[in-house]
Amino acid sequence: MTLGAEAASIDDVARHLGATKGRIYHHFPSKGALLAEVCLRAADFVLQKVPPVVDPNATPINNLRTMVQTHIPEVLRTLPYHKVIIQSYVGVQQKSTTAQERALFAQIQLERKAYETLFRDVLQAGMEDGSFRVQNISVALQSLLLLINAPVFWYRPRDNAPETFVTELSVQLADMAVASLQ
């Protein structure tokens, strides 16, 4: 996260962990595999928290608010993983050369699609019941995901931040998400 996914070497990772390069390679056969595992771990964090809060009996607006207000704190709690995703999002897939890396990247795509489908389904339900205006659902979905992941780019934990900051941020972004869809 500190040096950047592209610039950091396995030596840098080992040095930061107080380990040897051989120890890193014992667990991860390549830098691409290590990055893929970080991305999968980040996806797992939100996939464990958000799907359980979707209530089939709730309105699409309430589901979306709850999903966003669950997503934001979990992303901020696991911020280093998500920063690595942002840094490696474009380039890593193009560099997958081994069968293991290709399998890991395929798994990342499956998990990303599953997570997007959660939001897509709520958006679709909202468009069908009139809660959200009818619009290009793919554009709405990608814009929504960009909005709720924006703190990854700018958020820095601060010692003097009020304890309520993350909750207030989550509510504000949920309000913005709903307003952008109505």
pLDDT tens for 41-83 read 888 999 999 999 999 999 999 999 999 999 999 999 999 888 8
Q: Is 123 exposed, middle or buried (0-12, 13-18, 19+ CB in 10 A)?
A: buried
Residue 14 lies in a domain: no
Residue 90 has pLDDT above 50, yes or no: no
Residue 163 lies in a domain: yes
CATH code for position 74? 1.10.357.10
Domain tally, the chain: 1
Q: Which pLDDT value is given to residue 50?
A: 97
Domain span at residue 82 reads 31-181
Q: What is the mean pLDDT of residues 151-171?
A: 93
Residue 92 lies in a domain: yes
Q: Which pLDDT value is given to residue 46?
A: 93
Residue 3 lies in a domain: no
Residue 25 lies in a domain: no
Q: Which pLDDT value is given to residue 101?
A: 79
Of residues 42 and 5, the one with the higher pLDDT is 42
Helix (H) or strand (E) holding 132: none
Residue 19 lies in a domain: no
Residue 88 has pLDDT above 70, yes or no: no
Residue 23 lies in a domain: no
Q: Which pLDDT value is given to residue 92?
A: 44
For residues 1 and 87, give the distance between their C-alpha atoms in angstroms, rounded to a whole number.
8
For residues 126 and 108, give the distance between their C-alpha atoms in angstroms, rounded to a whole number.
27
For residues 162 and 168, give the distance between their C-alpha atoms in angstroms, rounded to a whole number.
10
Q: What is the mean pLDDT of residues 98-103?
A: 81
User: pLDDT tens-digit profile of 124-159?
Assistant: 999 999 999 999 999 999 999 999 999 999 998 888
This prediction's pTM: 0.85
Residue 20 lies in a domain: no
